[in-house]
């Protein structure tokens, strides 16, 4: 693991420019989009997938020096590990990585949603939220939650220069949420805003159901900004 960042940024957040960002589920639209944006911001990025071959293919498609490894190697080689897998495979992907993720900052961005003919609706994980499930499965990891409300379409579009959004960052450890806030701020247009403890992750995750309704009604790629900050 890279030594902890020591040079604080002007806004009081740490310098995270040297941290390696791993993305579990990095071959999906959200994961590819985040990988692209972090690499474009100058961050070292590793895409993780069930097989190294699939990850390497996705990484090659993105370029920008992004590497592709299997999930365990991605977890080992990264300082901060973003979880961008579908909710359906969330527990199955994380459970075997407990050792690899011990001590790492984990950023859960999974939105547990169901879909029917009336659209999307919130699912209620037994642990309270996807992020709390991650914390339960990874007791030695430094689990945070963030990056829920991003449009994969905008993230992946190279013509889009900035992502007009505030990223809500949740977690129970200040040093970890500070790092995640600083990472969010690396992407042009984004701010990382502390938005509470992990026990308040459920509503942030499931608000994506509302943004899907907004997108359908207004033909938009809606995101959120927090006012008065």
CB 106 to a copy of itself: min, Å: 20
- Which residues between 115 and 134 bind a copy of itself (CB under 8 A)? 118-122
The interface region with a copy of itself, picked from 34-42, 79-87, 88-96, 200-208 by CB under 8 A, is: 200-208
The site map against a copy of itself for 168-187 (x = CB under 8 A) is: x-x-----------------
The residue (of 94 and 211) whose beta carbon lies closer to a copy of itself is 211
Question: Would you give the DSSP letter of residue 62?
Answer: H
The residue (of 6 and 227) whose beta carbon lies closer to a copy of itself is 227
Q: Report residue 85 CA to chain centroid gap.
A: 10
Whole-angstrom CA distances from 139 to 68, 97, 170, 204 are 26, 11, 17, 22
Cα(146)–Cα(186) distance, integer angstroms: 14
The DSSP result for 129-180, as a single string, is SHHHHHHHH-TTSEEEE---S--HHHHH-TT-----EEEEEEES-HHHHHHH
With CB under 8 A, what is the number of residues at the site for a copy of itself?
Answer: 40
Using the rule CB under 8 A, is 56 a contact of a copy of itself? Answer: no
Binding site for a copy of itself (CB under 8 A): 118-122, 151, 164-165, 168, 170, 193-197, 199-200, 202-204, 206-207, 209-214, 217-218, 220-229
């Amino acid at each position: 693991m890279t030594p902890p960042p020591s040079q604080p940024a002007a806004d009081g957040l740490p310098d995270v420019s040297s941290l390696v960002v791993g993305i579990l589920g990095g071959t999906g639209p959200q994961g590819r989009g985040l990988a692209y944006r972090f690499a474009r911001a100058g961050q070292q990025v590793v895409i993780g997938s069930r097989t190294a071959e699939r990850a390497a293919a996705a990484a090659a498609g993105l370029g920008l020096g992004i590497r592709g490894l299997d999930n365990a190697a991605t977890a080992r080689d990264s300082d901060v590990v973003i979880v961008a897998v579908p909710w359906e495979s969330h527990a199955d992907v994380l459970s075997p990585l407990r050792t690899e993720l011990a001590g790492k900052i984990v950023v859960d961005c999974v939105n547990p949603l169901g879909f029917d003919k009336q659209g999307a609706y919130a699912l209620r994980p037994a642990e309270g939220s996807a992020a709390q499930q991650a914390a339960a499965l990874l007791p030695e990891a430094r689990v945070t939650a963030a990056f829920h409300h991003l449009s994969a379409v905008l993230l992946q579009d190279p013509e889009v220069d900035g992502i007009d959004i505030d990223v809500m960052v949740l977690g129970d450890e200040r040093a970890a949420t500070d790092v995640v806030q600083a990472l969010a701020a690396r992407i042009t247009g984004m701010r990382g805003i502390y938005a509470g403890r992990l026990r308040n992750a459920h509503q942030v995750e499931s608000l994506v159901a509302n943004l899907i309704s907004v997108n359908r009604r207004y033909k938009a790629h809606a995101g959120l900004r927090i006012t008065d900050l």
